[in-house]
Chains A and B, each alone.
Chain A
């Protein structure tokens, strides 16, 4: 993580927006703090995609995507904080979509209305072939909540002249 903004990396202040947003989400929804660890840049050997994942396409002042990925055991517990007693994969997938949507949408408080978010695309399974934009680093924000680990992954660029080559349609091929 760099402290100066270069056009191909994510400013530290922007990373902090998402760290704070993640902490806020878990505290509001579950009344339990999540521990957010130091973000790191994903390497090809890092397996960050878990049982249920959602991706939000970002456009406007920044371009790229925001992923949230979590294990089944964590989401099973998290949905109970929404008052759910039902256990189903559809519900768990919906939940991760809502988490990604909420954290991304909340980021607009600091990043402004130009930070435009798409509807989430959800997918299931620990796919190793999920493609990340190759011309923007993927910052992984590790989250630990109630002993469960999940990840928020940010692939964002501010340099509007050089858009990350990312096709959301690509994800629909592996979405179940």
Chain B
């Protein structure tokens, strides 16, 4: 599986990467929506984890762009924005799931596993 991790926080990108483990998966990272789209073009990931509040391009806009390029991409939005409307909006734009920060390694593992098996 190819996985793209998108978050402007390096510590979050690294913690997600660590949780997934390299194993049989290829992992790339991006620090904002603009970089994510560039990486997406070359890397063609199966799964994307996407932060929302980022510079240059926010995550929800990036979700839309990604799904226009490949509607089969599975996307997990990971954000600190805790109002219900944000989670609803993420799903409306095509994300398969929404994980609220701060997350424990257990909940992250559960959400990632669900993406892999969908």
User: Which stretch of B22-30, B38-46, B68-76, B97-105 is in the interface?
Assistant: B97-105
Q: How far is the CB of A81 from chain B (nearest CB, A)?
A: 9
Interface residues on chain B, size class: 20 to 34
**Contacts A25-B102, A28-B103 hold; do A94 and B9 have CB atoms under 8 A apart?**
yes
| Distance of A24 from chain B, by nearest CB (Å) | 8
Query: In chain A between 105 and 120, which residues have their CB closer than 8 angstroms to a CB of chain B?
Result: 105-109, 112-113, 117-119
**Cβ 8 A contact of A102, one of B15, B54, B80, B86:** B80
Q: Collect the chain A residues with CB atoms within 8 Å of residue B100's CB.
A: 106
A83-91, A133-141, A147-155 - interface stretch: A83-91
**Are B12 and A112 within 8 A (Cβ)?**
no
- Which among A28, A97, A105, A118 has the greatest number of chain B C-beta atoms within 10 A? A105
How many chain-A residues does the 8 Å CB contact rule pick out? 28
Is the CB of A29 closer than 8 A to any CB of chain B? yes
Q: What A residues does B81 contact at CB under 8 A?
A: 105, 108, 113, 117
On whether the beta carbons of A98 and B12 are closer than 8 Å, the reply is yes
